[in-house]
């Protein structure tokens, strides 16, 4: 079945460490997105990419980095510069025709220990 | 970016219709109106989207005002499984009529369904 796979589902990070969250889609979608969600809050856009080797900052990009070397992959690195990284991270994608809207992954819950 | 405004919460009884409103007074001519819903600790699920005309699918109906400054998601018969946070979102379209660009979420509406 086509979809978006985020891994791992749960991730623990020590303070000062960089961690990378994986997002892979086999939907042949062009655009991919990363969101952060804090408890009881809506989603905030971190980064998005509309084509391979190109990406744009969202509303809260500081302390995060991304790459888009392949169409199907859009990994997110949470760097040590992100002071409050504990959150639920969601990846999404959409295809050229957008007939079915955006598809979201099941999320990665990152906790700083 | 165009913003959306939704009520913080709504309640419904099972088997009754639910009308979830959304205001988007600064919508541009090429913005699509999307609706998603999210259960706790899960990713949002696509519900429906449209541009100008009303839309129906197996999950819901979307009624879009003639001036496009507001829309209403209609769940025809609410079930307990419809209890979720519902997000109304505007998606920037490019010149080709596809839906790209930033997809900005608001706080959404928490829908409670009573048995």
What pLDDT does residue B100 have? 60
- Chain A residues in contact with B30 by the CB 8 A cut-off are none
Contact A92 B108 (CB under 8 A): no
Extract the runs of DSSP E, i.e. beta strands, from B24-67: 32-38, 45-50, 55-56, 61-64
Question: Which one, of B42, B4, B87, lies nearest residue A89 by Cα?
Answer: B42
CA dist A8 and B64 (Å) reads 39
CA distance A19 to chain B (A): 20
Contact A97 B98 (CB under 8 A): yes
Contact A90 B104 (CB under 8 A): no
Average pLDDT, chain B: 88
Can you list the residues of chain B whose pLDDT is less than 70? Answer: 1-2, 92-102
pLDDT in tens, chain A (113 residues): 679 999 999 999 898 899 999 999 999 888 899 999 998 888 999 999 988 999 999 999 999 999 999 999 999 999 998 889 999 999 999 876 655 678 999 999 999 98
What pLDDT does residue A30 have? 87
Chain A interface includes B50 (CB < 8 A)? no
């Amino acid at each position: 079945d086509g979809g978006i796979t985020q891994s791992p589902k749960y991730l623990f990070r020590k303070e000062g460490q960089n961690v990378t969250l994986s997002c892979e889609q086999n939907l042949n979608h062009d655009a991919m997105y990363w969101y952060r969600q804090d408890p009881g809050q809506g989603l905030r856009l971190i980064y998005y990419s509309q084509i391979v080797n190109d990406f744009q900052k969202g509303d809260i990009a500081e302390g995060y980095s991304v790459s888009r070397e392949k169409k199907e992959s859009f990994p997110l690195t949470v760097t040590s510069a992100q002071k409050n990284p504990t959150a639920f991270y969601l990846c999404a994608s959409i295809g050229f025709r957008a007939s079915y809207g955006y598809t979201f992954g099941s999320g990665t819950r990152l906790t700083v220990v | 970016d165009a913003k959306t405004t939704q009520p913080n919460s709504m309640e419904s009884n099972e088997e009754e219709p639910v009308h979830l409103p959304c205001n988007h007074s600064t919508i541009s001519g090429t913005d699509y109106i999307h609706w998603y819903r999210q259960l706790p600790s899960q990713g949002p699920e696509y519900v429906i989207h449209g541009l100008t005309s009303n839309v129906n699918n197996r999950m819901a109906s979307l009624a879009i005002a003639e001036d496009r400054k507001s829309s209403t998601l209609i769940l025809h018969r609410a079930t307990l499984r419809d209890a979720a946070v519902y997000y109304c979102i505007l998606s920037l379209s490019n010149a080709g009529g596809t839906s790209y660009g930033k997809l900005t979420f608001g706080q959404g509406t928490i829908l409670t369904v009573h048995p």
